[in-house]
């Protein structure tokens, strides 16, 4: 489960996916197994918009006459 998620899933999500397949195991056991193997989940960065649409009030006149 952990490898198929590209290392994104933590112990809670791995346990949820295992339970969906029919394997009941506690969250603590999954966390212990992951710790023994050195598996840690990678945090995904949140999406941050870096370019905002231009505000019509802030459009400047074309003084140079560019194309």
Question: Does the pLDDT of residue 2 top 60, yes or no?
Answer: no
State the angle between helix axes of 27-37 and 11-20 in degrees (0 to 180), rounded to the nearest 10: 120
Cα 18 from Cα 10, distance rounded (Å) = 12
Question: Does the pLDDT of residue 54 top 80, yes or no?
Answer: no
Domain boundaries, given as residue ranges, for the chain:
1-42
* CA atoms lying within 13 Å on the CB side of residue 31: 4
Question: pLDDT tens across 4-51, in order?
Answer: 666 678 888 888 888 888 988 898 998 898 889 888 887 777 888 777
Q: In terms of Cα–Cα distance, which of 32, 41, 29 is closest to 3?
A: 41
Predicted TM-score (pTM) of this structure: 0.54
Per DSSP, the three-state class of 7 is coil
**Mean residue pLDDT across the chain:** 79
Q: Which residue has the higher pLDDT, 56 or 64?
A: 64
């Amino acid at each position: 489960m952990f490898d198929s998620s590209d290392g994104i899933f933590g112990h809670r999500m791995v346990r949820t996916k295992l339970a969906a397949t029919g394997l009941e195991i506690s969250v603590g056991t999954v966390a212990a197994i992951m710790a023994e193997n050195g598996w840690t989940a990678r945090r995904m960065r949140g999406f941050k918009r870096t370019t905002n649409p231009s505000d019509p009030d802030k459009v400047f006149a074309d003084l140079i006459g560019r194309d």
